[in-house]
Structure 1
Amino acid sequence: MPSGLKDKNPTVGASSSAPPPPWINLPRDLTANILRRLGQVEILQTARKVCTTWRSVCSEPSMWRVIDLEYCSFEVVLRFSSHNLLGHEYFLEFEKSWSQELSGLRYEDRERARRENEDLERDRFHNPLCRRAVDLSQGELIDINIDYFGTDGLLYYISERAKISSHLKRLRLKCCNFIDFIALTASVKKFPDLEELHLEYMAFVNLKDIEAISISCPKLKSFTFSITDSGPWQIRSSIVEIDDNYALRIAKNMPNLRYLCLSGVKLSKEGRKAFFESCPNLDYFPM
């Protein structure tokens, strides 16, 4: 080629790849701030798979100090599961067998069975995600909400991880129809620094179980308990009256309470007095 002439054709093997997306070069703290605006299910299922930078940011323990896996409808569970062929085939088979199983039932029984089946499938979907989130926290977990899913095994898993480095200060369980009293009391013993415990519409935890829980959580500052009936998926409509002596025993085990809510529970004047006398810092206790 004559001197001074430039080759108009690009050199063979020269890089022709597109420039990296602009979000790659954002500061990590800004990237983390943006990702936190997503739901945690979305982070675990999709955001971590976008690029290595996002995966790295999503894996930082600081992202998982608070775990709140939002309630997912059955349709959302199906959508996420259809991202892989195995999950999609499983749910197609589940839907087919489910329809055959329910075809001979009355409408009321069919609807009840449908709700129970959907709850079971939501547990299959949420439990592994929750375990993954707990692992990513690497012992820095301080606050967790478990709503409308959860099993004894999941609660034991969280408590075993917390035993290594326990900082958990707040736990809320709401409508967890597959968590019983035995698993709950065994687990809270592993949370010595627990300051807030909220039990809302727990089918297999009743008022008589609360005394054992109160003994295990002497540092509690905030406690909520909502009455349910003895079976899953049903909320008790009647008011339960508790014995004054029992109220006194609970109160003595929770001297640091500032917030107390016993929904669906009737206390006598002496029972309420027991709480105020045993919990001098009590600021909120609706009658």
Structure 2
Amino acid sequence: MGWSCTKKPNWLELPTDLMKNILQRLDTLDIVMSVRYVCALWWNIYKDPLMWSTIRMCDIDLEHIGMDSLEKIARRAIDLSCGHMKEVYIDYFATDDLLKYLSERATHLRRLRLSHCYGGISNKGLSEFVKKFSLLEELDISFDEDAYDGSLEEIGLCCPLLKSLKLRRMISSYYFNDAFTIAKTMSGLRHLTLSRIWLSDDRLLAILDGCPLLESLDMQNCLLFKFSESLEKRCLEQIRDLQLPKICCQPYKTVMVLPRRY
């Protein structure tokens, strides 16, 4: 009877490009605080600028690491990228200072997510520094009641390649006149997600008219006010992937919207 080979493969013998591809899938925090200390090979990969095309710092346990430490780690990753950074995903700790630092060193940015960064990023800061991101294609931001109102015009004017926009308010609000700004300055949008925002017929119609390339529109967590049958028909005809709210407010009554197949 022959003997089968039981020798385990040596992961250190993997091609460097393959190892780099594997490590890039880890969270930035893990790479900076742990991975780089494993061995000399991983240390050299850590220092490769092409390793830092993405910052991914989401779902972080803030009880074990402070905001200041997180910002320092993000800055270190930005420095290591040497201008090759294309994607940034940050929860909680982003600030105006960090956004300024990023805008000066990552002018080829394609995708940006800033989630739950309450108080850290101001309307003025977002308006000023987004001007450097002219190649931006995807933007995902969540904000409180007053933050970022008015910034969308700068984003629309300075980011002509923008194809995907996600806006999430943490507190539901009726005051969302930026729907007209989206329609006026973001004609190239293909994907739009709005959350905790009240939309009236005129605002939604403006988006449909101003964004003729729109393929998907997600309003599941919004509230539609005076949603007419003609507008619903227009949405169904124009939008391939349409997600309507469960509740629409009509004059003197509230209407449940039944699930549909689009």
* Bigger fraction of residues in helix: 1
Residues of 1 paired with 2:23 and 2:149: CA distance? 40
* Aligned counterpart, 1:216: 158
* Aligned counterpart, 1:170: 111
SS where residue 210 of structure 1 aligns? helix
Residues of 2 paired with 1:194 and 1:279: CA distance? 17
Q: Which moved more, 1:168-177 or 1:201-210?
A: 201-210
Q: Which moved more, 1:44-53 or 1:130-139?
A: 44-53
Residues of 1 paired with 2:197 and 2:62: CA distance? 33
8 Å CA contact 2:52–2:81 kept in 1: the answer is yes
Structure scoring higher RCO (CA < 8 A, sep ≥ 6) equals 1
CA-CA distance at 1:71 after TM superposition: 3.2
CA-CA distance at 1:34 after TM superposition: 3.8
Query: RMSD across aligned C-alpha pairs, in angstroms?
Result: 2.1
Q: Which has the larger radius of gyration?
A: 1
2:72 matched to 1:128? yes
Residues of 2 paired with 1:171 and 1:76: CA distance? 25
Trace 1:272-287 onto structure 2 (pairs within 5 A): 272-287=204-219
8 Å CA contact 2:145–2:173 kept in 1: the answer is no
2:24 matched to 1:36? yes
Structure 2 length-normalised TM: 0.72
Distance 1:241 1:150, change over 3 A: closer
Residue-pair matches, total: 209
2:126 matched to 1:189? no
Trace 1:111-122 onto structure 2 (pairs within 5 A): 122=66
Distance 1:167 1:208, change over 3 A: closer
CA-CA distance at 1:37 after TM superposition: 4.6
* Aligned counterpart, 1:149: 93
Distance 1:252 1:71, change over 3 A: same
CA-CA distance at 1:202 after TM superposition: 4.8
SS where residue 285 of structure 1 aligns? strand
8 Å CA contact 1:64–1:133 kept in 2: the answer is yes
8 Å CA contact 1:123–1:151 kept in 2: the answer is no
Residues of 1 paired with 2:16 and 2:53: CA distance? 17
8 Å CA contact 2:123–2:150 kept in 1: the answer is no
Residues of 1 paired with 2:90 and 2:145: CA distance? 14
* Aligned counterpart, 1:248: 180
Residues of 2 paired with 1:63 and 1:215: CA distance? 31
Q: Which runs of 5+ in 2 are unaligned?
A: 1-9, 220-262
* Aligned counterpart, 1:52: 40
The one-letter code of the counterpart of 2:17 is D
Structure 1 length-normalised TM: 0.66
CA-CA distance at 1:43 after TM superposition: 1.0
